Each structure stands twice: as C-alpha cells, then as structure tokens.
Amino acid sequence: MRLQGKVALITGSALGIGKAVAARFGAEGARVAMMGNDRESLESAAAEIKGSGGDAIAVCADVRHAEEVAGMLQSVLDVWGAVDILVNNAGICKPAPFLTLSEADWDLHMDVNLKGTFLVGQAVSRAMVKQGGGGSIINMSSVNGLAAEADQAHYNASKGGINLLTMSMALELAPHGIRVNAICPGLIETRLTAPLVQNAEALAPYLRTIPMGRVGQPDEIADAALFLASADARYMTGHCLVVDGGQVIK
C-alpha cells in the first residue's frame, strides 16, 4: 500500500487515463477525489472504486473556471481536511490543420489543458502550503509537448506549455516540500484516441512510428503516476516522464 492514508485529487477521472489512475491510487490505499465536468460518469467511476473496497468521492467542476475549482477543492477539504497528491489530468484534443484552426479551438485547448492545469495546480499548491507543505503534483502532458504532430498546433502548444509550467512549479514549490512532475504519454487507448485506434487503416502506419509497435493502455500510465506520486520518486521534481513505447526517440 504505497499511498496509504494519502488524499489524492485527480481531474478528468471519469474516463480513460484519469479513471485508471484513480483506480490504481485507490488500490494503493489513497482516498480518491474524482473530479471532472461529467457528473454521471464521475459518480459511477467513484462507485466502482468504492465497490472494490476503496474510498472515493466525486466532485464536479470545470477546470477552466477558478470559482468552480475553488468550490470543488473546498468540498474535498471539507470531507478529508487535506490534499496530498494532485493529478492534473483533464484534457481535450480536437485535431485541426494549422491553416484553418479557429481562434475558438485555440482558446478552448489553452483554457482546458494549460489554464486548467494552472488553476487547479495553484489552488491545490496553496492548500498544500497551508497544511504545512509536502505533496506530489503530476501534470498530464503528452509526447506532443516534446515534438510536434501535424494538425495539432493548439494541442502541441498547450502540452509544451504544461512541461514548462511543471518545471516552473517545481522550482517555486520545492522549498515547500512539494514535488511537481509531468507524464508525457504516447498513444494510449481511450475515448480521446478512439478515432485513430479504431480505424485499422489509419492505425497501421501510425504504429510503425512506435518502436514497441503497439498502443499503450491507461493502466500503463497509472503505474507511472503511482511511481511519481509515491515516495519511490522522493528525489524527483521538475521531470517530464515519457511513457510512449519509444515513439519520441525515433
């Protein structure tokens, strides 16, 4: 039980990677606050964790709005009194060619992916400092934050921003004992990647860009998040951990 007694807040945890992280943390003894903008699926995901003996609550908020984030965090603090681990996982990706990318889509990706990470990260960091310091924050970036993929200028830029935000937070929060790291997943099978993963014709050439030759699974990112959240990573901060089957080295 590597997270026994810890309170973990995970954004965007109704589905996909966030849900797998929440389940993994719950199985390691954490009390899990599952946060997102989709109440119904969030509550059913929290019920699944409780059904397997874990402790979970569902808290609704849109990461783009500071007041909603503050209210969501307060409701976690009201129940458990502290937050020890944050996984800033909520994110979106709607591909569009650069030449026709709309201002609205640019703003949406920046707001959810980058500003959302800032807003939740700052609110939780303040709570961690107030409760005496210490904690682990994990920002869900992407290999697209390290190398550009076509038709994803807005997504690439938001994830590149997350990597530098991670290093900036790590610098300023280290004196408070708070570690801040990022995970850069490659192609992981979730709702977000279903249009590619479920299209055999498009997937075959894509898999040739991945040395390990397969799509990753959400639990493979959850294992990396568990490592960064736990004392196993106690001397790591400001790191962007790539989990991609070797895609970025090619």
Contact positions vs ligand NAD (CB under 6 A): 11-12, 14-18, 36-38, 62-64, 89-93, 112, 140, 142, 185, 187-188, 190-193
Least Cβ distance, residue 151 to ligand NAD (angstroms): 15
Least Cβ distance, residue 133 to ligand NAD (angstroms): 27
Least Cβ distance, residue 98 to ligand NAD (angstroms): 19
Question: Known catalytic residue: 235?
Answer: no
What is the spatial distance between Cα 165 and Cα 182, in angstroms, rounded to a whole number? Answer: 9
Least Cβ distance, residue 106 to ligand NAD (angstroms): 15
Helix residue ranges per DSSP H, the chain = 16-27, 39-51, 66-80, 103-109, 116-130, 153-173, 194-197, 200-207, 218-229
Show the tokens assigned to 172. Answer: 């300023």
Pick the closer one to ligand NAD by CB: 129 or 196. Answer: 196
Catalytic residue among 28, 118, 155, 166: 155
Show the tokens assigned to 81. Answer: 């009194």
Amino acid at 46: A
Pick the closer one to ligand NAD by CB: 49 or 188. Answer: 188
Pick the closer one to ligand NAD by CB: 55 or 62. Answer: 62
What is the spatial distance between Cα 88 and Cα 73, in angstroms, rounded to a whole number? Answer: 13
Pick the closer one to ligand NAD by CB: 92 or 236. Answer: 92
What is the spatial distance between Cα 36 and Cα 64, in angstroms, rounded to a whole number? Answer: 11
Contact 84, 8 (CB under 8 A): yes
Return the active site residues: 155
